[in-house]
A and B are shown apart, each in its own frame.
Chain A
């Protein structure tokens, strides 16, 4: 595809622009900016609503609050990506185009991955800016969670990078589940409910550790990165638990994205049946 306007990259950028322009992105990120403004600038707000972690506001925001807002943004943007098209009757129209089905699906998935990355950066950027403007001490060189006895020791600066990587991976897993669900359904509620269900199940498994392995390799822990440093129930060290989580969740999200892109069984079957009857 060398045509500039019809290239795959162009298609992906068009999808990305659509995602970035959704009102939910602005509403939720705006709500987060407002919330973080309250946290960094208002002592009263902080005392009533915020539970400070490790005596550090930036750590608190990155671990306890920002991931929830980012989860909501990703969920609301990913849910209608395929299901919305089906509802409007655009799915089959797209399929009739020369570069329709697979290329368009690929472009949508790529756009969603890039969107997740950009939204994560936006979340970190907003928080960091609030912290800098409010002149809260960053203490980047200090050890993160000094009071704990974790076998993974890192400075605050390195810990923030770790948070970024874990949150991004966690959000990509959410995205992969929601996007796959969206490609299988024609109602937006289904992918939305799937995302919430996954999050709820992981939260319940975190709060009630009925199976140690499911507690260690847990999506909720990915979205609360500090919990990954503190303790491991199944593995003999937290480092092993982190590595196992990263490998399993990376494979899972890649697998789910691949399934979404190659999801053409229904239409294919219908076409085969139709030609047989003819």
Chain B
């Protein structure tokens, strides 16, 4: 077995990593599966998916739009029923007389259908007004950026696709769980060597420590990648079981969480970006954990400091949700490893950082900052680990 294989085996042979990862996964499954019996999960969106096109047509029907605007965006299903496709009514009437957990299903679905149509009309009106405001607003980098984004947004659709829930997978909990398992597995990679005095013994070997450095690095990255893949697949399976796979792709601006955000992406594209971000973030976290492990003399310090590194970015980032401008104060949270692993805040909200006369998408800064952290962490690890190397 080559060195990488040996190092990888050393990481995965720690029983506690698997036990804690299993506990974490079981708890995550418990939380997600508990949502499965919720009324909203079973009926609200699923029942209306067959009439997705009809609801969209209704929201873009000038007669319906005019009626909803005149009513101040507050209408009932019965009021707009004569103007919309009868297929919507027929679909809802299939649930007539059905009661679930005290809810009259047909009544709830009528309210939901009216809300979807009304909300779509309201969103389109708001965005049109915002575009008009921006056209007449002073020529600032932020206004230029917002105008560019709002005018290039794909046509909004009713929020019935389940992408809201799927994008929420990587919002906060899953990145935290992945990071926890990675730190748990990797924080002892170098410190264990120091504790067992192997670090000194290695100086007497032919290849010294430098060859081992690359094997440890690759084995750790492999472990991190495996953790990401296992947890992402596990989460996707759970969400498929609870919510089902989204039946169609939809623009991000159609989703409630990203309403009015200057984001022109499609949900599937964003979800794939989240998966890539999760993988890249895990690699950066691995490099930082290895770096910390290489200068700490105890597992305790290594685990704790690596945890603090990730937790600080997470806490700071979670306190800033919902903004689309990065400032000098918030930029540290926006470029954190957590932000890269989640991407919900930085890329989902279409955040920008204003420098002089230009608006830079924050995601670019996040990627650059994380690449720098990765390179610096690896260089320092190499330096710390090989500092007592004897030249041949």
Contacts and interface: CB of A to CB of B under 8 A. Distances in A.
Does A pair with B? yes
**Secondary structure of the B contact surface, majority rule:** helix
Contacts of A48: 329
Nearest to B300: A188
Interface in B31-65: 31, 34-35
A4 B180 CA distance: 46
B298 interface: yes
A76 B300 contact: yes
A210 B16 contact: no
A193 B300 contact: no
A87 B307 contact: no
Contacts of A196: 180, 307
Interface in B311-339: 329
B162 to A, nearest CB: 19
Given A193-B20, A193-B184, A210 B30 contact: yes
A193 B195 contact: no
Given A197-B23, A200-B176, A200-B180, A189 B187 contact: yes
Interface residues of A, number: 21
B365 interface: no
A192 B303 contact: yes
Interface residues of B, number: 24
A85 interface: no
A87 B20 CA distance: 20
B303 A193 contact: yes
B286 interface: no
A56 to B, nearest CB: 21
Contacts of B92: none
Contact of B31 (A87, A187, A197, A208): A208
A269 B27 CA distance: 33
B188 A189 contact: yes
A187 B188 contact: yes
Interface string B18-34: 00100110010011001
B344 interface: no
A87 B194 CA distance: 13
B27 A190 contact: no
A204 interface: yes
B173 A197 contact: no
Given A190-B16, A193-B16, A204 B27 contact: yes
Of all A-B residue pairs in the complex, the 7 with the closest CB atoms, nearest first, are A210-B34, A188-B300, A190-B16, A189-B299, A189-B303, A188-B299, A193-B20
Interface of A: 48, 76, 79-80, 87, 185, 187-190, 192-194, 196-197, 200-201, 204, 208, 210-211
6 contacts: A76-B300, A188-B300, A193-B16, A193-B303, A197-B24, A210-B31
Given A192-B300, A193-B184, 4 more contacts: A185-B16, A189-B187, A193-B303, A196-B180
